[in-house]
Amino acid sequence: MEKRVEEPRVLEPVRTRGRRGSLERERRQAYWLVAPAVGVLAGVALYPILAAMWLSLHRFILVFGEKRFVGWGNYAYLLGDARFWSALGNTAYFTLVAVTVELLLAVPLALLLQRAFPGRGLLRAAVLVPWAIPTVVSARLWAWMFNPDSGLINRLLLGADINWLGSPGYALHAAILVDVWKTTPFVALLVLAGLQGISEDIYRAARVDGASAWRTFRSITLPLLKPALLLALLFRSLDAFRVFDAIYVLTEGGPANTTETLSIYAYKTLMRSGDFGYGSTLSVATFICVVVLAAVWLRLLGREEAAR
């Protein structure tokens, strides 16, 4: 077998006057070319964020036409707001458990999907169905299945009498189950992409060395899969942290706010109560949490990339 040798290619800028001038020009041109995109982003992303931050410093209740600057007042109330902390706790718990379970299920699923067997294409497509169904629709389906009286789940559990969406201990876990059902295929696909990036040669070498299946998985698959796993972790945890639709349809945050996440709390304050000031404060708090989470993952991912 012939080994392909890559020519090392080194791009050394040739330092001639004319070249440099054209590089400068190209750079300027590049700025102009991305300017429209940056402008659009500033308009649709930056402006709302800044506006929300500005609003969060006000007592602004729509129905009263009352808008008054209160400085950090809303944030001071937020720190003592038991409902905020329980929403944050629910969100963190939801994210942690859902994403962990999804990753644990997705890796075996991806390994299975990678194998060559008849009907693989069909299975790969079929696995995506839960992910393709709009969350609102699938959540509604699950709400019916969770119905304590006539739902499918209690029947499958041989007539168990579990009040899935009505009792504080179960409701959040039911929501996690729905999320896991929906997004595991997506994570599995990300992992599958990672798996396909691993060269077959390494496995052949491992087989020659007589490594066991477990050893191969631990020493080859898992380490080489790490970037893909980290990416999945990044996508999913940011997504799960902002969870809204599934919970809104299943429980609307009840019972007793035990399934209330930060987005649900912010939505209720903003849209149901029309309390734009405090609602914005909650949105900004959510935004900060997501940014911190993203920063941590990106750092880890960056370190991983650098190590390679």
Interface positions with another protein (CB under 8 A): 61-65, 77, 82-83, 140, 143, 147-149, 163-168, 249, 251-258, 260, 268-269, 271-275
Of 82 and 306, nearer to another protein (C-beta) is: 82
Torsion of CA 60, 63, 64, 70, to 10 degrees: -10
Q: Would you say 100 or 147 has its CB closer to another protein?
A: 147
3-state secondary structure of 81: coil
Question: Is the previous residue joined to 255 through a cis bond, with omega within 30 degrees of 0?
Answer: yes
148/166 Cα distance (integer angstroms): 9
Minimum CB separation of residue 250 from another protein in Å reads: 9
Nearest distance from C-beta of residue 150 to another protein, angstroms: 8
Task: Give whichever of 107 and 247 is closer to another protein, judged by the CB atom.
Answer: 247
Shortest CB 111 distance to another protein, Å: 38
In the complex, the smallest distance separating the C-beta of residue 254 from another protein, rounded to whole angstroms, is 3
Our CB check for another protein shows the closer of 252 and 304 to be: 252
Q: Report whether 96 contacts 297 (CB < 8 A).
A: no
Nearer to another protein, 94 or 142 (CB): 142
- Min dist CB 72 to another protein, Å, is 15
Residue 285 CB, shortest distance to another protein, in Å, is 17
Q: Which is nearer to another protein, 140 or 226 (CB)?
A: 140
Burial of residue 226 (number of CB atoms within 10 Å: 0-12, 13-18, 19+): middle
Reference 60, options 277, 271, 270, 278; nearest CA is 277
d(Cα 61, Cα 84) in Å, to the nearest integer? 19
Give residue 119's region: left, alpha or beta (phi > 0; psi -120 to 50): left
Q: For the CB of residue 76, give the shortest distance to another protein in the complex, in Å.
A: 11
Residue 79, both tokens? 């720190």
How many CB atoms are located within 10 Å of the residue 200 CB? Answer: 8
Partnered with residue 66 across adjacent β-strands are 61
Rounded CA separation 175/64 (Å): 36
DSSP 8-class letter at 260: -
Nearest to another protein of 52, 229 (CB atom): 52
Say if residues 44 and 242 touch (Cβ distance below 8 Å). no
CB of 248 to another protein, least distance (A): 9
Q: Radius of gyration of the chain from Cα atoms?
A: 25
Contact 203, 216 (CB under 8 A): yes
Of 73 and 227, nearer to another protein (C-beta) is 73
